[in-house]
A = this chain, B = another copy of it.
Amino acid sequence: MALLVQKYGGTSVGSVERIQHVADKIIAMRKQGHDIVVAVSAMSGETNRLIGLAKEMQARPSPREMDVLVSTGEQVTIALLAMALEERGQAARSYTGWQVRMHTDSSHTKARIENIDGDKIHSDLAEGRVVVVAGFQGADQENNITTLGRGGSDTTAVALAAALKADECQIYTDVDGVYTTDPRVEPNARRLEKITFEEMLEMASLGSKILQIRAVEFAGKYNVPLRVLSTFTDGEGTLISLDEDAEMESALISGIAFNRDEAQLTISGVPDHPGIAANILSPISEANIEVDMIVQNVGGEGLTDFTFTVHRNDFEKTEEVLNSVAKEIGAKQVVGDQQIVKVSMVGVGMRSHAGVASKMFQILADENINIRMISTSEIKVSVVIDEKYLELAVRALHAGLGLENEPEGLQ
């Protein structure tokens, strides 16, 4: 018998029938003898409907009032799910964020959880109830309603699991686990049985939209075993945990991630002197543009080239800023390209094994794919390539690194 915290997202609770299905799933787990705490999102579409109403009211809606408004979405779901459980003979009780003292800071629309009081929940569990908690929301010290930002229900579930010292935090979603890469690109993609928090962070930030990054960070920090499962099909999903107990079996490479949302910009012929990187990047960051990869080539003749990537939505704004920077610092030209993608291989095994990066470069070279940028971290190697090569590159890497096979130990 374990204490499980389960989270069901907007799609999983998107209709009366789906909420009833979730109730059936929970009761099946109860029958196995587990104590269950559930965190739920708003029914899919509801949050957007509410935001639409807000925008009709106020050009830039007050963040405090926005939180009062959108937090109703989850409140509707908790009541409906508790009713569905009781209709099936399972005692249940719903709680909003403030009712379980989900204390956050006061950063409306993007608050951070500071503390949860688990007493009420523990006593409900002891009396045989399923506890249903509104995801995504909390309250600050002055009892103002706050929300954690998009995807915050994952964070709620992890925070509950940490506070309650749950055995596992199960995130139910519309995919049945974390895959070695996107199965829509590589049909041989394989579901991972387990992956480390660090690997998941790298996979998540690269566009695997399964789990909210902050929730994974939070789970890693408090060592909460996290499992991704499908609401709609049975299966074991993927367990995300520390790698300490499984070092010997962990694969060299866990997966191939990619991101189509980036664009590349180069400012070239830049007079090279100390502080030039800051001169270029400060105006970008002042314009609230987030920069991802950065590469500086040391050129000849006291000149250097400077290349970086930003989100495609920010491409035009960045080009504008960069053109005025180029004039100021006497650079030769600014060149941009939106037809690029970032492809990354991720794996904790890399940490203790050299030569993995060159294997990646060789596989791409064998397919005549030109690498435009390279960036490496301890457990990740990312390259920027022409967008048209994306599928080819992912499949070649997936096959070349043997990801379709279960790992049998270190290669």
| Residues of chain B contacted by A20 (CB below 8 angstroms) | 57
- Whether B86 lies near A58 (C-beta < 8 A) is yes
Contact call B98/A82, Cβ cutoff below 8 A: no
Q: Interface digits, A74-100 against B, CB 8 Å rule (1 contact, 0 not)?
A: 011011101110110000011010110
Please state if A79 and B86 are interface contacts (CB–CB under 8 Å). no
| Chain B residues positioned under 8 Å from A93 (CB to CB) | 64
Contact A68/B94 with A59-B87, A62-B82 known, Cβ cut-off 8 Å: yes
How many chain-A residues does the 8 Å CB contact rule pick out?
37
The answer, yes or no, to whether A246 is at the interface (CB within 8 Å) is no
| Docked pose: A56 CA to B76 CA in angstroms | 13
27 residue pairs bridging A and B, Cβ less than 8 Å apart: A16-B57, A19-B57, A20-B57, A53-B76, A53-B80, A54-B80, A54-B83, A57-B80, A57-B83, A57-B84, A58-B83, A58-B87, A59-B87, A61-B83, A62-B82, A62-B86, A64-B93, A65-B86, A65-B94, A66-B79, A66-B83, A68-B94, A68-B96, A69-B79, A69-B80, A96-B145, A98-B143
Interface residues of A in 119-169 (CB under 8 A from B): 143-145
A65: which of B16, B50, B79 is its contact (CB, 8 Å)?
B79
Would you call A72 an interface residue if the criterion is a C-beta within 8 Å of the partner chain's C-beta atoms? Answer: yes
Bound form: Cα–Cα A122–B103 in Å: 25
Binding site for B on A (CB under 8 A): 16, 19-20, 50, 53-54, 56-59, 61-62, 64-66, 68-69, 71-72, 75-76, 78-80, 82-84, 86-87, 93-94, 96, 98-99, 143-145
- Chain B residues with Cβ below 8 Å from A80 are 53-54, 57, 65, 69
Q: Are A82 and B94 in contact (CB under 8 A)?
A: no
Q: Given that A68-B79, A87-B59 are known contacts, is A53 also in contact with B16, CB under 8 Å in the complex?
A: yes
Instruction: Tell me the complex Cα distance, A50–B94, Å.
Output: 16
Tell me the bound Cα distance from A53 to B80 in angstroms. Answer: 8
Of the candidates B61, B68, B83, B86, the one whose C-beta lies within 8 Å of that of A78 is B68
Alpha-carbon gap, A62 to B96, bound state (A): 16
| Contact, CB under 8 Å: B50 / A87 | no
CB pair B72–A50 under 8 Å, yes or no, is no
What is the bound-complex CA distance between A93 and B93, given in angstroms? 30
Cα distance A393–B19 in the bound complex, in angstroms: 55
Which of A53, A80, A94 has the largest count of B CB atoms less than 10 A from its CB? A80
Q: Which of B16, B56, B76 contacts A16 (CB under 8 A)?
A: B56
Distance between A79 CB and nearest chain B CB, rounded to angstroms: 4
A100 to chain B, nearest CB (A): 10
CB atoms of B68 and A75 under 8 A apart: yes
The distance in angstroms between the C-alpha atoms of A58 and B83, with both chains bound, is 6
**Cα–Cα distance between A129 and B69 once the two chains are bound (Å):** 19
A76:B65 contact, CB within 8 angstroms: no
List of B residues within 8 angstroms of A84 by Cβ = 57-58
Contact A82:B99 (CB < 8 A) given known A76-B50, A87-B59: no
Give chain B nearest CB distance to A85 CB in angstroms. Answer: 9
Most chain B beta carbons < 10 A, residue from A59, A62, A93: A62
